[in-house]
Amino acid sequence: MSDEAFPRYGVREQTLSETAIDHAIEQLRLLGYAIVDGGYSSEELALLSQKFDAAKQQMEERFGREQLAAIDEHNTVRVPMVYDRAFLDLARNSAVAEICRRMMGEAFLLNQQNGVINPGRAQRYNQSAYHRDLPYQHYVSSRPLALNALFCIDPFTLDNGATHVVPGSHKQEAFPSDTIVKALEVQAVAPAGSFIVLDCMVYHAGGVNRTETPRRAVNHVYTIPMMKQQVDMPTVLGDDFTQDPYERKLLGYDYQVPVNIEAYYEQRRAKSAK
C-alpha cells in the first residue's frame, strides 16, 4: 500500500493511524468490523485445528450428539477452554486484547467463547439470520460496550459462507431497510488464523456454506463487566482453573456477584488487600 497522501483541501484534522492495530480500530469505528492477523504460525494453526475437533468430540461424548442436535447445539462447542487450555491462550490473544483495551477501557471480560461450525452442503446454520451480538437492543453508544473476535480456524471464503456485514450499521439504532442491506452488505473474507473483529452492535449474519467441508471458527465476545456472561465461567471452570491475575480478571472471577452480604464484605476485604 502506498504511503502517498490523498489530495485534499480544507482539511485541518486527520486521524493518526500507523500500526495494524491503529488501522483495525479506525476501521471498527468507521465500518463496525475489521480483519486482524492473529499472529499464529502454520504449525500453531494446525494444532488449534486438531484441538478444535478434539473438543467437539469430547463435547459429544459428554452430552450426546443426538441430544445436542435436538436443541440445535450440535454445531456449537460452548466454552471450549473447558476441554483444552489452548483456547484460554486464544482468548488472551494480544492483538485482540489491545483492541479491547483501547476501545472499551481497561475493565473488560470474556463474556463468552464458543466454537462455531457452519456445516457444508448448504445445510441450515443457526447464525444465518441478521442479528447484533447484543440482540433485541436498539440504541447506539459513543464507544462499544462489546466486541466480537471471531477466530478463523478455516479460511472464510465466499463459497463457505463468510460472514455478511452491513458496514456502519452499529451507528444506527434501527435495522436498515432491506433495500439498503442488499445494497451495502459485504462478506468478510478472511484467511485462516485471523480474527474477524466486530463491534457487537453491527448487524451481521453467517453466510451459506456451499462447499462439502464444514467451516470452523471460535467466537469470542468481550464486554464491559456490567454485562453478565453467557455462561458463568468461574463456576464452569472452577476456582483452581487459573491463579493468574490477568486471566482471573478476563474470565470474570474478579467480577462475580456476591451471593450474600458476608460474601460482599469478603470481596471488599480482598480488594482492599491488593
pLDDT along the chain (274 residues), means of 10: 80 94 98 98 98 98 96 96 98 99 97 95 79 93 96 98 97 98 98 98 96 97 96 96 97 93 89 79
pLDDT computed for residue 121 by the predictor: 83
- The CA angle 121-78-107, to the nearest 5 degrees, is 125
- Domain limits of the chain? 20-231
d(CA 267, CA 119): 45
Query: Could you tell me which residues come within 8 angstroms of residue 120 by beta carbon, excluding any fewer than 6 positions away?
Result: 160, 209, 210, 211, 212, 213, 214, 215
pLDDT computed for residue 1 by the predictor: 46
- The whole model's pTM is what? 0.94
* Cβ pair 231, 79 in contact under 8 A: yes
d(CA 197, CA 154): 16
pLDDT computed for residue 2 by the predictor: 52
Query: Could you tell me which residues come within 8 angstroms of residue 160 by beta carbon, excluding any fewer than 6 positions away?
Result: 118, 120, 154, 207, 209, 210, 211, 213, 215
- Beta-sheet pairing, 146-152 with 215-223: antiparallel
Alpha helix positions (H), the chain: 20-31, 42-63, 65-70, 86-91, 94-104, 178-184, 233-237, 245-250, 261-273
pLDDT computed for residue 260 by the predictor: 92
d(CA 192, CA 46): 10
20-231: what fold? Jelly Rolls (2.60.120)
* Cβ pair 173, 209 in contact under 8 A: no
